[in-house]
Amino acid sequence: MKTVDQCTRSLAWWLISELDWWGIEAPLVAMLCSLCCSIVLLVPLYYVLRYIWELFVIGDLQNKPVFITGCDSGFGRQLALKLASNGIPVFAGCLTEKGEDSLRKDSQGLQGKLQTVALDVTNDESVVKAAETVKNSLKGKDLWAVVNNAGIFSIYGPDDWCTIDEYRRSIDVNLLGVIRVSQAFKPFVKKSKGRIVTVSSVAGRYTSACTGPYSTAKYAVESYMDAIR
């Protein structure tokens, strides 16, 4: 039986003999064939490894509470409902009462208990109060994870149009909000040897001309996470 390497070579040499007539260089063809064969092998390998990885199930979910910020809408809300439907106790930080009410309604009947917590990440007191509420509600359990999700996309436009207030607002929510919450909840996560997950953005690695306030905050949040890693 031929090995993969032998197949690659046969294919390369067949192509070389065919393409030689067109004046295309043999090493180039050989290189392209190797590349194609590597891709053909690596893609299925990736999916097989990923499938195996996903077979591992984390156990004891009902004893692994998670705190999430920004659960009124979007990713935070989706995550809160998803975790609760898998049996994980969730503390869902919500900015508004309306958000809390609708999340409570939507989480009724889910396997895991979802408790909403009033939270404005721009307000020191609100963050400290949320941490106390979570601490008093843990009832002997350890907090397994914190998800810093709350964020705003404050403005879209070139820097000439952006005011200092718009930068300030973006930094207050997207950066200082993450720092406030991480510092207030870090003792719980240290005790449980858990984790802090922060939702950053591609804007924290790449800046376009029109995303100044958002990108500066997201770059800084990447840096903060590196600092506490």
Query: What is the total count of residues that contact ligand NAP (CB under 6 A)?
Result: 21
Pairing of strands 195-198, 145-148: parallel
Decide: is 173 part of the binding site for ligand NAP (CB under 6 A): yes
Asked about 47 being catalytic, the answer comes back as no
Q: Distance from first CA to last CA of the chain, Å, rounded?
A: 49
In the complex with ligand NAP, which residue's Cβ is closer, 120 or 188?
120
Element (H, E) at 29: helix 26-55
Which region among 3-11, 45-53, 55-63, 114-122 touches ligand NAP (by CB under 6 A)?
114-122
Decide: is 149 part of the binding site for ligand NAP (CB under 6 A): yes
Decide: is 192 part of the binding site for ligand NAP (CB under 6 A): no
What CA–CA distance (Å, rounded) separates 145 from 79?
13
Strand partners, 118: 94
Structure tokens at 60: 């004891």
Q: Are 198 and 225 in contact (CB under 8 A)?
A: yes
Decide: is 212 part of the binding site for ligand NAP (CB under 6 A): no
Distances (CA, A) of 175 to 141, 188, 225: 29, 21, 10
Decide: is 74 part of the binding site for ligand NAP (CB under 6 A): yes
Decide: is 88 part of the binding site for ligand NAP (CB under 6 A): no
* Cβ-based neighbour number of residue 127 at 10 Å: 24
In the complex with ligand NAP, which residue's Cβ is closer, 64 or 218?
218
Positions 7 through 66 that interact with ligand NAP (CB under 6 A): none
Task: Tell the smallest beta-carbon distance from residue 175 to ligand NAP (Å).
Answer: 11
**Helix, strand, coil in percent for the chain, rounding step 5:** 60, 10, 30
Active site residue: 47, 51, 156, 214, which one? 214
In the complex with ligand NAP, which residue's Cβ is closer, 8 or 115?
115
- Which residue in 13, 30, 32, 73 binds ligand NAP (CB under 6 A)? 73
CA atoms within 13 A on the CB side of 102: 10
Which region among 32-40, 45-53, 83-91, 147-155 touches ligand NAP (by CB under 6 A)?
147-155
What CA–CA distance (Å, rounded) separates 29 from 8?
11
Residues in contact with ligand NAP by CB under 6 A are 69-70, 72-76, 95-96, 99, 119-122, 149-152, 173, 199, 201
Which residues form the catalytic set? 214
